Amino acid sequence: MSDAPLLVARGLTRHFTVRRHPFARASGVVRAVDNVDLTIAPGETLGLVGESGCGKSTVARLIVRLIAPTGGTLLFDGEDLLALSGQALRRRRADIQMVFQDPAGALDPRHTAEEIVTEPLEIHAIGTRTTRRERAEELFARVGLRPEHLRRYPHEFSGGQRQRLGIARALALKPRLIVCDEAVSALDVSVQAQVVNLFKQLQRELGLAYLFIAHDLSVVRHLSDRVAVMYLGEVVETASADALFASPHHPYTQSLLSAVPRHVPGGRPRIVLAGEVPNPLAPPPGCRFHTRCPLAFGRCRVEAPASVDLGGGHSAACHLVTKGAPAPSLRRTDHA
């Protein structure tokens, strides 16, 4: 992996205006993503984890430019993605592709597998009809599908095969970064393992970088070089996968990792948090986690914590975290 980052997001923000009906005045703002910093190096996998609704999928859509940010910067290979439009953006999109959670919903049921895989090539005017078909056959073989099934429609494939078809489509333009938004969560466990191993094989063979979003922390640990943890629209901790699972510093990360079954590497005594995730329409002041954190004190309720550099690429945003000091420890209730 190169030391120079492939993707750099700084202060990435996306707020959604809420209206009771299309012609009403705004009744509030959902802070889906707030001041998020991420970097991904060439050939690296960055895992992105957090509870449902924390903003992970919004980050994914911001990076592939499916939606525009409210603020922040987004650089790909040193180029400002947010300054691109038209043909320039289309050319750059060839380098950043996406694999979606629901393979059935992400594939046009009226198109054959060949049409699905070759469509990106047609849009970018790459090759002839013959060479595009040859490329589709090559991609089918690479992702573990049979080239003779190129004439099939999506409903004729199993769920795992449909996801492989989605991966083949994402590979068609020879991207450098693939954003995987819960790409294995809709699959059976045995099929998940096969698809995760396929992602690792493709990374070795093609030098791909991944942003890998998932709920299954054991999958994230297996696949990721580094992991970023999100809570209520903010990144609260970032570290190498080994460092994060061995020594999580942010109290939320500790509670999140405690959900990993204890027989799985990285499993920890269970931590049960009180309360619910706050409404993103009205996030709490100060540290957004303070309403559920057993260690919260006065400062947490009024002042948002800055991210503390712990060395070795490990950082955490918590008033109790200090470089060189042991991680703060939540009171643990073991229900395992």
85 in a structural domain: no
Average pLDDT over residues 68-74: 95
Q: What is the DSSP string of 194-221?
A: HHHHHHHHHHHHH--EEEEE-S-HHHHH
Residue 16: enclosing H or E segment and its boundaries?
A: strand 7-19
Lowest mean pLDDT among 37-46, 173-182, 211-220, 237-246: 211-220
- The amino acid occupying position 196 is V
159 in a structural domain: yes
3 in a structural domain: no
Q: Where are the alpha helices (DSSP H) in the chain?
A: 56-63, 86-93, 113-123, 129-142, 159-171, 189-206, 217-223, 241-246, 251-257
62 — pLDDT class (breaks 50, 70, 90): very high
> How does the average pLDDT of the chain come out, rounded?
90
Residue 165 contacts residue 117 (beta carbons within 8 Å): yes
200 in a structural domain: no
Average pLDDT over residues 64-89: 93
302 in a structural domain: no
Residue 272 contacts residue 278 (beta carbons within 8 Å): no
163 in a structural domain: yes
304 in a structural domain: no
Residue 168 contacts residue 132 (beta carbons within 8 Å): no
Residue 88 contacts residue 169 (beta carbons within 8 Å): no
110 in a structural domain: yes
The count of domains in the chain is 1
In this structure, the strands spanning 71-76 and 79-80 are antiparallel
> What pTM does this model have?
0.91
Residue in the structure block whose two tokens are 């060395």: 311
Q: Give the range of the structural domain holding residue 152, as residue numbers without chain letter.
A: 106-174
